[in-house]
């Protein structure tokens, strides 16, 4: 059984800087950006790089604040992807955070302005 009990997400310095830039670019708050980031990463092929020894920023956000009322849906999507990738339950939390970080790194190339969000939707 995959348990994702992480209650607080601590961001790397690079991810924090990207979130600040994307907020300035789009006006979206970091929690909304993280929701987009997670779904972008879950849709990408391959495994995200685990966040281990990277320098952490001061930004740390409660997971429920990040995912809001849709927390259980985001966790379910993540668990489905972990099963598809044959990731062990012991690494579920690490990959949840890794997917958020990979998605954050994908955002700047895909969203230059708020209007670009429409391009993320399937046709």
CATH number of 31's domain: 1.10.1220.160
The answer to whether residue 80 is domain-embedded is: yes
Is 95:78 a contact under the CB 8 Å cutoff? yes
Query: Could you report the per-residue pLDDT of 32-75, keeping only the tens digit for each?
Result: 999 999 999 999 999 999 988 778 888 889 988 989 899 989 98
| Residue 100: pLDDT over 90 | yes
pLDDT category, 104, cuts 50, 70, 90?
Answer: very high
Distance CA 123, CA 108 (A): 21
Is 43:99 a contact under the CB 8 Å cutoff? no
pLDDT averaged over every residue in the chain: 88
Per the model's pLDDT, the better-predicted residue between 41 and 116 turns out to be 41
Is 31:65 a contact under the CB 8 Å cutoff? yes
Whether the full predicted model's pTM is greater than 0.95, yes or no, is: no
Classify 47 as helix, strand or coil.
coil
Q: Which domain holds residue 64?
A: 8-114
Query: How many structural domains is the chain composed of?
Result: 1
The answer to whether residue 105 is domain-embedded is: yes
The answer to whether residue 107 is domain-embedded is: yes
pLDDT category, 120, cuts 50, 70, 90?
Answer: low
């Amino acid at each position: 059984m995959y348990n994702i009990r992480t209650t607080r997400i601590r961001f790397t310095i690079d991810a924090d800087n990207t979130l600040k830039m994307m907020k300035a670019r789009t006006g979206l708050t970091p929690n909304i950006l993280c929701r987009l980031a997670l779904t972008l990463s879950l849709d990408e092929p391959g495994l995200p790089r685990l966040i281990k020894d990277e320098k952490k920023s001061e930004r740390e956000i409660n997971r429920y604040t990040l995912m809001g009322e849709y927390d259980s849906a985001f966790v379910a999507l993540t668990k489905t992807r972990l099963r598809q990738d044959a990731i062990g339950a012991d690494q579920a939390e690490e990959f949840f955070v890794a997917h958020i970080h990979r998605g954050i790194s994908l955002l700047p190339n895909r969203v230059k302005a708020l209007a670009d969000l429409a391009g993320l939707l399937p046709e």
